[in-house]
Amino acid sequence: MSASRPEILVAIDLAPTTRALLEASFTLHHGPTPAARLAIAAGRGAAIGGILTNGATEISAALIAALPALRIIHAQGVGHEGVDLDAATLKQIPVTHGRGANADCVADHACALVLALLRDIPAMDALVRQGGWRSGGTMRPMASGKRLGILGLGDIGGRIARRLSGFAMPTVYHNRRPVAGAAYDYAPDPVALAARSDLLVVAVPGGAGSRHVVDAAVLQALGPQGFLVNVGRGSAVDTLALIEALTEKRIAGAALDVVEGEPDLPAALRALPNLVLTPHMAGRSPESVQAAAALALANLTAGLAGAPLPTLVPGQRGRFAEV
């Protein structure tokens, strides 16, 4: 092991191309569990200068304290809720994230889920493969003209709204606060947003502030003709309330790329016929993986050098230099 090569603690699985890119610059130590990460810290803590993680993976205050040479934490993807931001900030350690690297890919996938859900593409595909064909009563709603609600008009939510505008969808959104210059109407809370939506797309980051923001009251307001799509965080939707709403047809259907507790899904959820599921893949494509890897390399390199950072997390802006 070369003493001159910066050492990085990797808390997540890496795509082969990402691993190869980072291994050209760093010595990587892979710690897939909290215990493994603490064990690495015990052995190499004095040398490890950076952590590579993602939004959902825990990077605890104890781990941060066990790494005296730590200079940068980078979370791939937009989310960073698993990182103890207070502990990092207290130790003057910048935290960066993958803002924008997979935004187009997630927005593309959200639109695919919208169309698959409205037109019931998975069930129709299965019908034809089983030797069936449409009956006279086989009709599904079209996307054009549906009222669109965006819960979380950030980088990804904005891209989803712009894409779906091609279907002439009147659009309304809700954030914790209105977005300056937004071209869409603002709803004061999630229930009001759902009441004005035929199609509610969830694109919020994770964390305590968004947990179960889509609850039974929101689903009730969405109504029996309404559809829900979630490409944000699984924790944003109350799964038990969603199962009840879909079972009792209090909403028309849902499409989920993310589910709380994933990959362990409740059997009752998996059995629902008015649900489309994908395995948390909205942000994964060859193009987005390459962009995320390049951004991780840029942030880690800058953090280790004490240079301005490309994508500092919002909670630390003003504390560290940004590009």
Query: What are the backbone angles phi and psi of residue 27, rounded to the nearest 5°?
Result: -95, 125
Residue 36 above 70 pLDDT?
yes
Helix (H) or strand (E) segment spanning residue 72: strand 72-76
232 contacts: CB under 8 Å, gap ≥ 6: 151, 152, 156, 202, 203, 204, 205, 206, 210, 258
- Which regions of the chain carry the CATH code 3.40.50.720? 7-101+286-316, 103-277
Catalytic machinery residues = 233, 262, 280
Q: How many CA atoms lie within 13 A of 107 on its CB side?
A: 20
Its CATH architecture, for the domain 103-277, is: 3-Layer(aba) Sandwich (3.40)
Question: Distance (Å, rounded) from C-alpha 216 to C-alpha 245?
Answer: 8
Give CA–CA dist 10/322, Å, rounded.
Answer: 23
Do 300 and 26 contact (CB within 8 A), yes or no?
yes
Check residue 97 and report its DSSP letter.
E
Instruction: Find out whether 309 and 319 touch, Cβ atoms under 8 Å.
Output: no
pTM, whole model, 2 decimals?
0.90
**pLDDT tens track for 43-69:** 999 999 999 999 889 999 999 999 999
pLDDT at 3: 54
pLDDT at position 2 is 45
**Residue that the structure tokens 């052995």 belong to:** 43
Helix (H) or strand (E) holding 7: strand 7-10
CATH for 7-101+286-316 (3.40.50.80, 3.50.4.10, 3.40.50.720, 3.40.630.10): 3.40.50.720
* AA letter at 43: G
Q: How far apart are CA 95 and CA 75, in angstroms?
A: 8
Polymer length of the chain = 323
> Which residues have CB under 8 Å from 78's CB, separation 6+?
55, 97, 98, 99, 103, 154, 155, 156, 205
Split at pLDDT 50, 70, 90, the class of 205 is confident
Closest by Cα among 103, 95, 50 to 78 = 103
pLDDT tens for 244-293 read 999 999 999 999 999 999 999 999 999 999 999 999 999 999 999 999 99
pLDDT score of 190 more than 50? yes
- How many CB atoms within 10 Å of residue 119? 14
Rounded mean pLDDT, 179-204: 97
Kindly tell me the burial class for residue 280, based on how many C-beta atoms sit within 10 Å of its own C-beta (0-12, 13-18, 19 or more): middle
Q: How many CB atoms neighbour CB 122 within 10 A?
A: 16
